[in-house]
Amino acid sequence: MKTNNITEEGKKSSFSKVLEVLKTMASKPSGFIGLSILVFHITLALISPYIAPYDYKAIDPAMMLSAPSSEFWFGTDDLGRDVFTRTILGGRTALTVTFFGSLIALLWGGLLGIFCGLVGGKIDDVVMRVVDAFLSIPWILAMLLIVSLLGTTTEVLIPALGFFYGKGIVRVARAATHDVIAKDFIVSARARGHSNFSIMWNEIIPNVRDAILVEGAMRWSWMLLGFSSLSFLGFGVSPPTPDWGLMISNGRGLMSFAYWSVIAPIVGLSSLIIGINLTADAFAKALGIDRATKAPV
């Protein structure tokens, strides 16, 4: 028989698939810029302890609030600490906490959403009500409550942030599952007698994975902002750990005469958020997903 004219290759290894997605993402300027910023930040976070010129805790009253110079590139803060050192180190905690926080959000939000979409009916109704109820609590108040009860260690922050940012993922995962569940290949699997678990694992997850990952990437940037706000309010990481939120909070009173102590962390934080956002958008486009809504919380 004559074969089909479609010349595309068949199944590809997951590695080459990832590579292809990355290539597509980098082929558009915005995706390229986003990816570059993200890679830059991650690399910096990895190597900064080795390249930092000074000790981030070293206080030098003599050098308080000195302007940028060849000795202190970004100047010093009110305790005489080197702002450059603290800026390049200041993304480490934020990136780590929010990265793992997003993973947790993805995991529980994704699984619960798929579960609700799959079982439907009463259980779905009840779970979604509860999720909605949580959605209506201002997250920052709840976070403040949690950290003031349990402390501001990363062991508390990661699951707490993961929990609050997972709610939105539940909705996306549920909606994506609903779309898939009506398809005949699910009916077909049901009729063959596959278990619910097998249907979820083999039929649903491969089809909703992309949508959930994109949502997770989007949530990551929001979580970063949330985490930094907590630090800013004094509920994130505790001093003297270098952290952008904390640095901005410290330096904001001195802004009129020592702008350098806040400019660097602000640039660091906003560029990272923009980088993640652009990357997530490019990621969505590369996977062919239309993101109708920007993350609301």
Partner 1 sequence: MFEIIQNVKNLSIGFRSKKGEEILILKNISTNIKKGETVGIVGESGSGKSTLALAMMGYVKHGLYTIGGKCEFNSSNLLTMNSRELEKIRGRKIAMIPQNAGQALTPNLKIGYQIDEALQLHSNLNKQQRDEKISELLNKVRLPSPDTIALRYPHELSGGQQQRVAVAMALAGKPDLLLLDEPTTGLDVTTQAHVLELLKFIAKDTGTSMVYVSHDLGAIAQVSDRIIVMYSGEIVLEGPSRSILKKPIHPYTFGLLKSIPKLSLAGLPESMPGSQPQPGSISRGCSFYDRCNFSSDKCKNNSPDLEYLEDLKTSIKCFNYKNLMNDNEVNQNVKKINTNSQDKEILTLSEVSISYAKQKLLDQVFNKITDDNPTVKDININIKKGETIALVGESGSGKSTILKSIAGLLRTKDGIITFDQNRQLPSDLKLRNPNELRIIQLIFQNPDESLNPNHTVEEIISQPLKLYFGLKGEELKKNIIELLEKVRLGEFYMSRYPRQLSGGEKQRVAVARAFAAKPDIILCDEVTSALDVSVQAAVLNLLQQLKEDFGTTYIFVSHDLAVVRAISDRVAVLYQGRLCEVGPSKDVYQFPSHPYTEVLLGAVLEPDPDIKPKLVAEDIVEEKPPKKGCSFQGRCSRIVGDICKNEIPPWQLTTSGNSIRCHIPLKELQKAQII
Q: In angstroms, rounded to a whole number, what is the distance separating the alpha carbons of residues 164 and 173?
A: 16
* CB closer to partner 1, 3 vs 70: 3
Stretch that binds partner 1, among 51-59, 71-79, 180-188, 241-249 (CB under 8 A): 180-188
Tell which positions 4-23 bind partner 1, by CB under 8 A: 4-11
Q: In angstroms, rounded to a whole number, what is the distance separating the alpha carbons of residues 281 and 158?
A: 24
Contacts of residue 225, defined as CB under 8 A and 6 or more positions apart, other chains included, come to: 273
CB 108 within 8 A of CB 166: yes
Q: Establish if 184 lies at the interface with partner 1 (CB under 8 A).
A: yes
Phi-psi label, residue 248: left if phi above 0, alpha if psi -120 to 50, beta otherwise: alpha
Stretch that binds partner 1, among 34-42, 131-139, 179-187, 241-249 (CB under 8 A): 179-187
Q: In angstroms, rounded to a whole number, what is the distance separating the alpha carbons of residues 293 and 244?
A: 28
In the complex, least distance from residue 12 CB atom to partner 1, rounded to whole angstroms: 9
Which amino acid, residue 231? Answer: S
Q: Establish if 61 lies at the interface with partner 1 (CB under 8 A).
A: no
Q: What's the farthest any 2 CA atoms get from each other in the chain?
A: 86
Instruction: Tell me, rounded to whole angstroms, the distance of Cα 241 from its chain centroid.
Output: 21
Q: Establish if 26 lies at the interface with partner 1 (CB under 8 A).
A: no
In the complex, least distance from residue 11 CB atom to partner 1, rounded to whole angstroms: 4
Q: Establish if 189 lies at the interface with partner 1 (CB under 8 A).
A: yes
Q: In angstroms, rounded to a whole number, what is the distance separating the alpha carbons of residues 55 and 39?
A: 25
Q: Establish if 188 lies at the interface with partner 1 (CB under 8 A).
A: yes
Contacts of residue 224, defined as CB under 8 A and 6 or more positions apart, other chains included, come to: 94, 95, 98, 269, 272, 273, 276
* Binding residue for partner 1, selected from 47, 187, 255, 297, defined by CB under 8 A: 187
Q: Residues touching partner 1: how many (CB under 8 A)?
A: 26
Stretch that binds partner 1, among 1-9, 64-72, 263-271, 274-282 (CB under 8 A): 1-9
Q: Establish if 178 lies at the interface with partner 1 (CB under 8 A).
A: no
Binding map of partner 1 across residues 190-229, x = CB under 8 A, - = no contact:
xxxxx-------xx--xx----------------------
DSSP 3-state percent helix, strand, coil across the chain (nearest 5): 75, 0, 25
In the complex, least distance from residue 35 CB atom to partner 1, rounded to whole angstroms: 20
Q: Which residues bind partner 1 (CB under 8 A)?
A: 1-11, 183-185, 187-194, 202-203, 206-207
